[in-house]
Amino acid sequence: MGKKRAGRKVRVDFRPNRQQPRRRDDWTRQYRAEADRLEDEKLVESVRAKGELSRKRTILVDQHELPAVDESMWLHGTVTRVHGLICTVNDSQGRSWECTVRRVLRTLLIETRSPVIVGDRVWFSDQSKVSGGKLVGVIERVDPRTSCLSRRDARKRRHAIVANADQLLAVVSVAQPRLRPHLVDRYIVAALKGQLRPVLCFNKMDLLEEGSLAENEEQDRGELTVREAIDEFRRLGYQCICTSVVTGVGLPELRDALQDHLTVLSGQSGVGKSSLINALQPGLKLPTREVSADTEKGRHTTSRAELLRLDFGGYVVDTPGIRAFDLWAVAPGELEAFFVEFIPYVQKCRFGDCSHRYEEGCAVIAAVQAGQISPRRYRSYVKMFSEV
Ligand code: GDP
Ligand code: ZN
């Protein structure tokens, strides 16, 4: 990525992280818009405030707000909650600050339709001295985002929900409720679509060992056993963590996977998400879900996302609104790119727009027949294709 014009630096920063640049989709477009916005912001910033002198001028303009502090005194933190005009910001020492956004910045962010959201990394000035020692501050600057997940409201407008998330932890249970590998495939697609690294957690392993295996095997007659299904995901290259809150197995590995990441948590209710989080960090509670959010339709997804801070480093975000994330808005044509094992075959199909379902000369179908692609994964693809 050597030769780039200076003004394009922001793009260079995030490109190497993009794992699925194959198709330009809405999400990518939004992502680019975001990058453009950041570039614009940089421009505006350099126009309005180049160097210390003009920064002082900015502060002068802003004299009605709380007094600003020298930039070198700014603290760095992560926004964990947004409530109206107040953001809760966690600093590097784990302290929690209640911050407003400096008006100049707020105006700029409103103009670019991009308010501060959870996950944003921000610089803020300490205003505790003028607030009787309470940990309050003013957000002065927002760092460029490395990712941005959004949801769409009923009028199809996008709302950014979480910034800087880097992985998606899909929690499923191997029994009660029984494992549905197709659902795992969906989480993988959702994660890749959102440019998040998928991490798969198979919980309630104790039930598998106790003999509930029989139940699973019976229902899966002629299909893969739970262990075979997990092995299949492993062979595809996805991190698979087998856990049990009851025996404690896999918990250290899960902890390692979460440490220092901003992880989006997903999984149906009852699979053990709350139990897992609580086992990793006693006292840490997932926000209780609203009933309406469980309808999968996202009837009322007004509930706000909130980051939970992990003592051992990193954040987890779990929000009912996640179901309405644009993660699921995958176009049929881009689905193939999210099935990693299809990729070597896709170019070999006779037709450029092959959907790999019935076309003649389809290299993907041939690979399934030759045993190079798992029939289960292939069926999963076909099922998803008919849905998107
Ligand atoms: P959530 O809805 O995904 O947050 O799931 P919960 O954490 O509330 O767990 C649902 C149920 O599964 C509870 O009764 C838990 O006690 C139980 N559970 C959670 N993890 C395990 C596990 O590893 N093994 C077993 N046997 N039960 C579990
Ligand atoms: Zn094909």
For a substitution probing ligand 1, which of 187, 205, 245, 291 has the most ligand atoms within 8 Å of its CB? 245
Q: Give the model's pLDDT for residue 378.
A: 97
Better pLDDT: 183 or 14: 183
Residue nearest to atom 27 of ligand 1 (CA): 204
Nearest atom of ligand 1 to the alpha carbon of 275? 7
Residue nearest to atom 6 of ligand 1 (CA): 272
Nearest atom of ligand 1 to the alpha carbon of 271? 3
Q: Give the model's pLDDT for residue 3.
A: 42
Residue nearest to atom 12 of ligand 1 (CA): 272
Ligand 1 is surrounded, with C-beta below 6 A, by 203-204, 206-207, 244-246, 267, 269-275
Q: Give the model's pLDDT for residue 222.
A: 57
Nearest atom of ligand 1 to the alpha carbon of 207? 26
Top-level class of domain 332-387: mainly alpha
Sign of the C-alpha dihedral computed for residues 367, 241, 271 and 158 taken in this order? negative
**How far out from the chain centre does Cα 284 lie?**
20
Domain boundaries, the chain: 74-142, 161-318, 332-387
How much distance in Å is there from the Cα of 242 to the middle of ligand 2?
34
Q: Give the model's pLDDT for residue 2.
A: 42
For a substitution probing ligand 1, which of 174, 202, 275 has the most ligand atoms within 8 Å of its CB? 275
Mean pLDDT over 364-374 rounds to 97
Residue 81 pLDDT more than 80? yes
Q: Which of the listed ranges 9-13, 102-106, 186-190, 352-356 does the model predict with the highest average pLDDT?
A: 352-356
Nearest atom of ligand 1 to the alpha carbon of 244? 23
Give the ranges where 19-133 is alpha helix by DSSP (H): 26-48, 51-61, 103-111
Nearest atom of ligand 1 to the alpha carbon of 286? 4
Which ligand ends up closest to the CA of 353? 2
Domain 161-318 and domain 332-387, same fold? Reply is no
Contact 65, 103 (CB under 8 A): yes
Contact 271, 203 (CB under 8 A): yes
Task: In whole angstroms, give the CA distance from residue 258 to residue 91.
Answer: 19
How much distance in Å is there from the Cα of 384 to the middle of ligand 2?
15
In the chain, beta strands by DSSP E = 75-83, 86-91, 96-101, 121-126, 136-142, 148-152, 158-163, 167-173, 197-203, 239-242, 262-266, 307-309, 315-317
How much distance in Å is there from the Cα of 92 to the middle of ligand 2?
50
- pLDDT-based confidence at 259, cuts 50/70/90? very high
- pLDDT-based confidence at 315, cuts 50/70/90? very high
226-235 helix and 375-387 helix, angle to the nearest 10 degrees:
80
Which ligand ends up closest to the CA of 274? 1
Burial of 263 (0-12, 13-18, 19+ CB in 10 A): buried
How much distance in Å is there from the Cα of 197 to the middle of ligand 1?
24
- pLDDT-based confidence at 109, cuts 50/70/90? confident
Task: In whole angstroms, give the CA distance from residue 147 to residue 119.
Answer: 10
pTM of the model: 0.77
How much distance in Å is there from the Cα of 323 to the middle of ligand 1?
20
How much distance in Å is there from the Cα of 325 to the middle of ligand 2?
29
Residue located via tokens 């092995």 = 231
Tell me: domain 161-318, CATH 3.40.109.10, correct? no
For 162-166, 217-221, 289-293, 345-349, which range has the lowest pLDDT when averaged over its residues?
289-293
CATH code for the structural domain at 74-142: 2.40.50.140
How much distance in Å is there from the Cα of 365 to the middle of ligand 2?
7
Residue 101 pLDDT more than 90? yes
**How far out from the chain centre does Cα 303 lie?**
17
